[in-house]
Structure 1
């Protein structure tokens, strides 16, 4: 079974038998002639059995009892491989003869030869010449040399013992026999024979030529195909599975996730070497003078022997420090390569103390490294950099809001390190990523984006706990009366709680279930407004896709189609797709029943035909008829929330007049796009950080945290060596998760043009006073246009007194000072 991206790149390969089916005309003539030369010279002349060969074999048996002279033609071998065992008995031989004659009556010679060359066992789980060329030499059949062709042609006699990986000497001897036969019958000339026979036998096992790294996707696909088709079909039928993944976006997602984890790691300090091979004292004193007292350093040969036992992980490579200078170090890598690690790749490595504290900035290399240290290095921007395996974890997932197709998915730093898929399996508290859904409920219950709420501290006595509940903004800055649009963009905690109270917990939970969230994951208390709900990244991004697509709930899926080795379509996914014109804008459906992420993905085969070997023509009409996604909120509601989340990126007010403000996602202004909507999310003590956002064509969620849900991401202190390259302060959605989202989208949006979303029918645009939310006759910095559902727009005008009082209170601060007040959630 092979798994491909939507654009045809190979993701992975599974199975007990490796086979690359080829048409006879796709095989090099010399390869075909080599097999005929050594296996069946008279193939095109006999009727399926070679009478001369049979009499010769019978003579040998009669005289010596030796059955080694099998005299099997290619047709007989084909009959044996399909229908019989390899036992050397006369009864089996008689059956083989009759089957071979019958096969010759049913198939042409070329068809028989094509079947044989595709099905013959050639060792190391390779079946057929296409697979053998890949397994032994990492080539296609067209790239094989004469000596390599002879090696492959010699394998059918005893594939387990004659293959070049198992025994180069056996392979060489058999190769020379084949070359001799090829010379005898004139397939090659003397010069080609001499060159081939002198060639060394060099071979190693080659895996599948993976061209797109998506191991978490591959495992999801493998499990689903096995569940639906069974192991025998999944692993042995030559299935090709085409996914919805975009290879370029997938590569960008992996790169963004890993780089973001490296950046987090560097902010929090160096945890030290992997091992110390010999003792060299490291000087961490402030003056950073070298203090090396080496004890029995290993020889170069011993170091290389040690490195040969060490494995790489992702782009981290093992190396051993052999010398340290003032601001550089010399390292030896596997294979004998010696590199210099310059100060630029070292200066970040202050000492890790704990998640909250780091040591002082190092002044010299010998405050970081000492000879004998086994360390890890990686390449960044073409230069080597000291590194370490990240302890924090992350996940990123991107889906198409129009139909739920997964475009990118990375479930962790490294699949080889951990197969736990954090996109589909990790339910974590979502923090302020829940707020757009709470605000959506408010808009359905009489509130507008211009409604004024009190951004002031909450003190509420809890009789059960015997203490007062005092939820706070983060940072603890309170603006007093504030419009809902601004409160969402700034992620005001106390406003979210007051909205929850105004709508009611039961009404809010019912509304949140429309986005596919299970009621069991939504706590029935006021902490819901702050993000105490636990969801997977896949569930969360599916909810955000509803705001991106105009109010429809889509079902995530990853398998587009499955074909067999004859290119017959066994399964074609038919996703429920968004259709704005198919459903009246005001129509909403009943609350959907929520399944977990694994069950969602399990739906991708629900329409599988009963006959799993059916051809493309037998796909049922139900599979091919378009299906419409379910509308769960109105188009007006989704537009208003999406538009409010644009203020999270671009802010509002007038910096010139001292009323300007930034939203929590202001760093996305770097993308210079006005169709971005986004929201940060951080839980208590920064144990989980989130960033979710979307354009009309792509919804993306990033999570960063530790697999240990009790461990905080902590904070990074100022690093004197890093200057503007660092990000000091407490970890948060804006600081920890947003950079990966931004990095990914810089690539993902290259092929997606900016797409402004016009307001849907039924919304009114009204000029309002920024402070009071009432109608305004002014056209200066004190007013702006706001969208309203019909009948919800304000009916009163803001008076002169109201305006004068409100703007006299505006704080006259510089833009950069305003940014420091941006709430971390």
Structure 2
């Protein structure tokens, strides 16, 4: 039916153009122009008959028939294409003979090489479709400069692959891992891995999987409390038994360890990831305020102002979590998260320029305060496994049924969210935690990514004006 519809609205030449602009040509080259430049270092319009026939021949299995992989097989496919053209009288015998004799001078592979690149390309495609519509995207012909740092991307892929195997050894069967790294100063996505193997599944868990964030949601509640001016990092909250009316019954929240710790500062409550204190604070300030904060941070999943909301009983993507924490790390300044820096058409005209235009969307003091509290999570709390030799802030996340485990953390120059779970939404393993199993993944990636990045300190809350009590 789709083929019939295409025939009704497009000419044969238009269909062929769309195909040539989108088809995969091997070595992460998409589109005839990019492939021509990689294989022969020239524009597609200047390809010789021999070069064109070789490119046409490799489409069937581009990695296998690529002249970079096997010139013998590439020449064999080229001969098949030229032979068929001769049969159809599209070329004559002299053209056939000359094309086969032509010396093939290869260019070099210019496209970014990475095993998880499909996750980046489908993120680009999603964003382009939102900006220009599916029809324009399918037509192709756009040149896209992404925000991805090739070195960071390779590091991220290697980290995910390594830790997938490690977690399998720890009993976390069928585990999937997603990782998103964002520069908080620009909200440019610097690395993105949506799963352990795109050859098995291209489902992008970094941008498409809606999973419960667990305790990594708690900073949104405490930030909202700080923004009211009534609370600060050292405000006291009591960790004691409590119950709330919930529908036709009552809700009795519990801490992960089942016990109670009495009065404590908010700093300690978050560092130790206590559940009851964050619910009490959420109730005191109003859950609708918490939801408003989440919307400001770009988290658009359905939310209800229920008592369990502070424990992360919603669905979020790793990209949403990384972007939200990046806004905290930039003291309330935010640009839309993006994987695209610039888009031009085939003539070089700029179609999209994503130069950051940050806006102040959160209270700077409250943002600095929640970062300061999350530093304690790393130095003296559940995030010790993420400690790196520079100031960092972050939060672990573990759902009550161990189906989703997280670590989301940041330094001033880079914010990274790591999620581990299963596609079938089953329990990973008994007592699987974000602090024990995901924080080390975050640490491993960040130590590599930040190797040549200067150490930078976070700004102190004292450098900003505290909001007046509301």
Instruction: Give the aligned partner of residue 454 of structure 2.
Output: 753
CA distance in 2, matches of 1:451, 1:232: 54
Q: For 1:679, what is the secondary structure of its paired residue?
A: strand
Does residue 247 (structure 1) correspond to residue 30 (structure 2)? The answer is: no
From 442, 446, 464, the equivalent of 1:741 is 442
CA distance in 2, matches of 1:232, 1:551: 35
Give how far 1:476 is off.
2.7
CA distance in 2, matches of 1:259, 1:511: 36
Instruction: Give the aligned partner of residue 809 of structure 1.
Output: none
Does residue 137 (structure 1) correspond to residue 137 (structure 2)? The answer is: no
Q: How many residues align?
A: 428
Q: For 1:538, what is the secondary structure of its paired residue?
A: helix
Q: For 1:458, what is the secondary structure of its paired residue?
A: coil
Q: 1:633 to 1:232 in 2, by over 3 A?
A: closer
Does residue 573 (structure 1) correspond to residue 353 (structure 2)? The answer is: yes
How do 1:331-370 and structure 2 match up within 5 A?
A: none
How do 1:378-777 and structure 2 match up within 5 A?
A: 391-445=174-228, 446-460=230-244, 462=246, 464-465=248-249, 468-518=250-300, 521-563=302-344, 568-575=348-355, 577=356, 627=357, 629-651=358-380, 663-669=381-387, 671-674=388-391, 676-709=392-425, 711-715=426-430, 730-759=431-460, 763=464
Q: In the alignment, is the contact (CA less than 8 A) between 1:455 and 1:482 conserved in 2?
A: yes
CA distance in 2, matches of 1:148, 1:704: 41
Instruction: Give the aligned partner of residue 770 of structure 1.
Output: none
CA distance in 2, matches of 1:139, 1:423: 32
Q: 1:2 to 1:759 in 2, by over 3 A?
A: farther
From 154, 163, 175, the equivalent of 1:260 is 163
Q: Deviations over 1:63-100 (max 9, x none)?
A: xxxxxxxxxxxxxxxxxxxxxxxxxxxxxxxxxxxxxx
Q: For 2:445, what is the secondary structure of its paired residue?
A: helix
Q: For 2:449, what is the secondary structure of its paired residue?
A: helix
Stretch of structure 1 that moved more, 489-498 or 257-266: 257-266
CA distance in 2, matches of 1:18, 1:517: 36
CA distance in 1, matches of 2:247, 2:127: 49
CA distance in 2, matches of 1:248, 1:484: 38
CA distance in 2, matches of 1:398, 1:259: 17
Q: 1:739 to 1:762 in 2, by over 3 A?
A: closer
Instruction: Give the aligned partner of residue 119 of structure 2.
Output: 216
Q: For 2:451, what is the secondary structure of its paired residue?
A: helix
Q: 1:790 to 1:435 in 2, by over 3 A?
A: closer
CA distance in 1, matches of 2:183, 2:99: 58
Instruction: Give the aligned partner of residue 8 of structure 2.
Output: none
Give how far 1:757 is off.
2.4
Does residue 158 (structure 1) correspond to residue 82 (structure 2)? The answer is: yes
Q: In the alignment, is the contact (CA less than 8 A) between 2:21 and 2:140 conserved in 1?
A: no
Q: 1:17 to 1:527 in 2, by over 3 A?
A: same
- Structure 1: 4+ residue segments shifted above 6 A: 154-157, 174-178, 206-209, 229-233
Q: 1:413 to 1:665 in 2, by over 3 A?
A: same
Instruction: Give the aligned partner of residue 336 of structure 1.
Output: none
Give how far 1:135 is off.
5.9
CA distance in 2, matches of 1:482, 1:232: 56
Q: In the alignment, is the contact (CA less than 8 A) between 1:252 and 1:744 conserved in 2?
A: yes
Q: In the alignment, is the contact (CA less than 8 A) between 1:392 and 1:705 conserved in 2?
A: yes
Q: In the alignment, is the contact (CA less than 8 A) between 1:17 and 1:236 conserved in 2?
A: no
Q: In the alignment, is the contact (CA less than 8 A) between 1:562 and 1:572 conserved in 2?
A: yes
Q: For 2:407, what is the secondary structure of its paired residue?
A: strand
Give how far 1:535 is off.
1.1
Q: How high is the TM-score relative to the length of structure 2? A: 0.78
How do 1:267-278 and structure 2 match up within 5 A?
A: 267-268=170-171
Q: 1:461 to 1:262 in 2, by over 3 A?
A: same
Q: In the alignment, is the contact (CA less than 8 A) between 1:17 and 1:126 conserved in 2?
A: no
Q: Deviations over 1:649-698 (max 9, x none)?
A: 112xxxxxxxxxxx1101223x2212x00000111111111110111111
Q: For 1:521, what is the secondary structure of its paired residue?
A: coil
Whose RCO is larger (CA < 8 A, sep 6+)? 2
Q: In the alignment, is the contact (CA less than 8 A) between 2:365 and 2:467 conserved in 1?
A: no
Q: For 1:421, what is the secondary structure of its paired residue?
A: coil
CA distance in 2, matches of 1:640, 1:502: 19
Q: In the alignment, is the contact (CA less than 8 A) between 1:12 and 1:208 conserved in 2?
A: no
Q: In the alignment, is the contact (CA less than 8 A) between 2:333 and 2:360 conserved in 1?
A: yes
How do 1:103-142 and structure 2 match up within 5 A?
A: 116-117=46-47, 122-123=52-53, 125-126=55-56, 137-138=67-68
Q: In the alignment, is the contact (CA less than 8 A) between 1:123 and 1:160 conserved in 2?
A: no
Q: In the alignment, is the contact (CA less than 8 A) between 1:423 and 1:536 conserved in 2?
A: yes
Q: In the alignment, is the contact (CA less than 8 A) between 2:50 and 2:99 conserved in 1?
A: no
Give how far 1:523 is off.
2.2
CA distance in 1, matches of 2:128, 2:363: 36
Q: Deviations over 1:238-267 (max 9, x none)?
A: x54221111111111112222222222111
Give how far 1:161 is off.
6.5
CA distance in 2, matches of 1:713, 1:148: 45
How do 1:152-231 and structure 2 match up within 5 A?
A: 158=82, 160=84, 211-213=113-115, 214-222=117-125, 224-225=127-128, 228=132
RMSD: 4.0
Give how far 1:435 is off.
0.6
Q: 1:433 to 1:14 in 2, by over 3 A?
A: same
From 4, 7, 12, the equivalent of 2:28 is 12
Instruction: Give the aligned partner of residue 90 of structure 2.
Output: none
Give how far 1:125 is off.
4.2
Q: In the alignment, is the contact (CA less than 8 A) between 2:364 and 2:464 conserved in 1?
A: no
Give how far 1:741 is off.
1.1
Q: 1:406 to 1:157 in 2, by over 3 A?
A: closer
Q: Deviations over 1:444-502 (max 9, x none)?
A: 2301211111112324465603xx43221112343211011111111111100110121
Q: For 1:399, what is the secondary structure of its paired residue?
A: strand
How do 1:300-339 and structure 2 match up within 5 A?
A: none
Q: 1:242 to 1:263 in 2, by over 3 A?
A: same
Q: Deviations over 1:357-385 (max 9, x none)?
A: xxxxxxxxxxxxxxxxxxxxxxxxxxxxx
CA distance in 1, matches of 2:328, 2:236: 23
CA distance in 1, matches of 2:363, 2:36: 50
Q: For 2:394, what is the secondary structure of its paired residue?
A: strand
Q: Deviations over 1:1-42 (max 9, x none)?
A: 899xxxxxx9822236875259x9x78xxxxxxxxxxxxxxx
CA distance in 2, matches of 1:517, 1:650: 28
Give how far 1:550 is off.
0.9
Q: How high is the TM-score relative to the length of structure 1? A: 0.46
